[in-house]
C-alpha cells in the first residue's frame, strides 16, 4: 500500500477522519506531571493511549520539540515510537530548501523520525520538493491555503486570474511524484475549500484550524464534498483537561471531534 492507501485504510478501520495534533509544551502540562523526569514523553504517551482508538493520524509539530534542543528531538522520536504502527504519522515541519538540503530534511523526517508524511512549503518550487516527492512510500503535504490570518498576505494574490494557492495546487499536481500528494487547507476557508474540490476532488487534504483556531466543522465537511481528508485538532484535545484525569478528558474530546467530523458517506 502507498501512503494514501495506508491512511485511507486506517480511516476505514476505525471510521474516523480525525487527526490528533501533538504540539506539546512544558508550560501547558498538567501539574500532576510536573515532577516527572520525562514529562513530555509521559504526557504524549498518555494522550496517545487515550486517543489512538479515535485517531486516523497523529500530527507532530516539530517546532514544539526543537524549542527544547537535542532533548526535544529525543522526546519527539520517542513520541513517534509510541504511536501504534497502524496510525498514520505526519511531521508538521513545513520544510523546503534547495535540492541537496531538502534531501537532508527528507532523511531527517522520513528516516531518522520515520514519519509517514511531512508538510512542506512550496515557495521555493519544484526542485526544493523533489527529494520528498521521490519517496514512493511516503506522503508529501504541501501548504496551499493556511488557516492563519497571514494567509491573505501572499497566498491570495491573483496571477493570471487565479490565486497563488491555486497555482500551487495545480502546479504541484502537474509534477512527477512517486510519493502520495496532499495539501494543507485551513478550516477557516470553507468557501475556498468548496472551489478547491472542483479542481482537486480526490487529493488528500490536511485541514487544521478546528478547535482553538475557530474553524466550523459543519461548514468544512459540507464544502469538502466527501474528498479524502484529515481534520486536525491539537490543543482542544491535548489540553482538554489539566488535572490528573487529563487522559480521560483527551479521550472524551477526541471522541467528540471524531463524531462531529463524521465519516465519508
Alpha-carbon Rg for the chain in angstroms:
18
Question: Is 255 assigned a catalytic role?
Answer: no
Closest CA to 50 of 262, 260, 246: 246
Question: What distance in Å separates the CA atoms of residue 252 and residue 237, rounded to the nearest whole number?
Answer: 8
Four-point Cα dihedral 258, 144, 158, 223, nearest 10: -20
Parallel/antiparallel/unpaired status of strands 88-95 and 57-61: parallel
Alpha helix positions (H), 83-229:
99-106, 126-133, 164-174, 190-199, 217-224
Q: Rounded to the nearest whole angstrom, what is the least distance from the CB of residue 82 to a second copy in the complex?
A: 17
* 135 versus 258: smaller Cβ distance to a second copy: 135
C-alpha distance from residue 8 to each of 1, 12, 226 (Å):
10, 6, 13
* 156 versus 255: smaller Cβ distance to a second copy: 156
From the candidates 77, 94, 162, 255, give the one annotated as an active-site residue. Answer: 94
End-to-end Cα separation, the chain, in angstroms: 23
* 114 versus 226: smaller Cβ distance to a second copy: 114
Q: Which residues contact a second copy (rule: CB under 8 A)? A: 23, 25, 61, 63-64, 66-74, 77, 92, 94-102, 104-105, 107-108, 111-113, 121-129, 143, 146-155, 157-160, 164, 167-168, 171, 213
Q: Rounded to the nearest whole angstrom, what is the least distance from the CB of residue 241 to a second copy in the complex?
A: 20
Q: Rounded to the nearest whole angstrom, what is the least distance from the CB of residue 67 to a second copy in the complex?
A: 4
* 6 versus 95: smaller Cβ distance to a second copy: 95
Q: Rounded to the nearest whole angstrom, what is the least distance from the CB of residue 61 to a second copy in the complex?
A: 6
Residues 6+ apart with CB under 8 A from 222: 190, 194
- Residues with active-site annotation: 94
Amino acid at each position: 500500500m502507498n501512503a494514501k492507501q495506508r491512511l485511507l485504510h486506517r480511516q476505514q478501520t476505525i471510521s474516523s477522519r480525525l487527526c490528533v495534533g501533538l504540539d506539546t509544551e512544558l508550560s501547558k502540562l498538567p501539574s500532576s506531571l510536573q515532577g516527572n523526569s520525562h514529562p513530555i514523553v509521559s504526557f504524549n504517551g498518555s494522550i496517545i493511549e487515550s486517543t489512538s482508538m479515535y485517531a486516523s493520524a497523529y500530527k507532530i509539530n516539530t517546532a514544539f520539540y526543537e524549542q527544547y534542543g537535542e532533548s526535544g528531538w529525543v522526546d519527539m522520536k520517542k513520541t513517534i515510537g509510541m504511536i501504534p504502527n497502524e496510525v498514520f504519522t505526519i511531521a508538521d515541519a513545513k520544510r523546503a530548501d534547495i535540492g541537496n538540503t531538502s534531501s537532508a530534511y527528507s532523511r531527517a523526517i522520513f528516516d531518522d523520525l520515520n514519519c509517514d508524511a511531512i508538510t512542506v512549503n512550496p515557495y521555493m518550487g519544484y526542485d526544493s520538493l523533489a527529494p520528498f516527492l521521490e519517496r514512493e512510500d511516503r506522503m508529501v503535504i504541501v501548504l496551499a491555503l493556511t488557516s492563519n490570518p497571514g494567509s491573505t498576505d501572499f497566498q491570495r494574490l491573483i496571477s493570471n486570474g487565479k490565486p497563488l494557492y491555486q497555482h500551487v495546487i495545480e502546479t504541484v499536481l502537474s509534477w512527477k511524484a512517486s510519493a502520495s500528494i496532499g495539501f494543507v487547507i485551513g478550516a477557516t476557508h470553507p468557501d475556498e475549500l468548496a472551489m478547491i474540490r472542483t479542481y482537486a476532488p480526490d487529493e488528500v487534504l490536511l485541514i487544521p484550524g478546528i478547535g482553538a483556531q475557530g474553524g466550523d466543522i459543519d461548514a468544512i465537511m459540507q464544502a469538502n464534498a466527501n474528498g479524502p481528508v484529515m481534520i486536525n485538532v491539537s490543543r482542544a484535545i491535548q489540553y482538554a483537561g489539566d488535572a490528573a484525569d487529563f487522559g480521560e478528558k483527551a479521550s472524551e474530546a477526541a471522541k467528540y471531534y471524531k463524531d462531529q467530523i463524521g465519516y465519508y458517506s
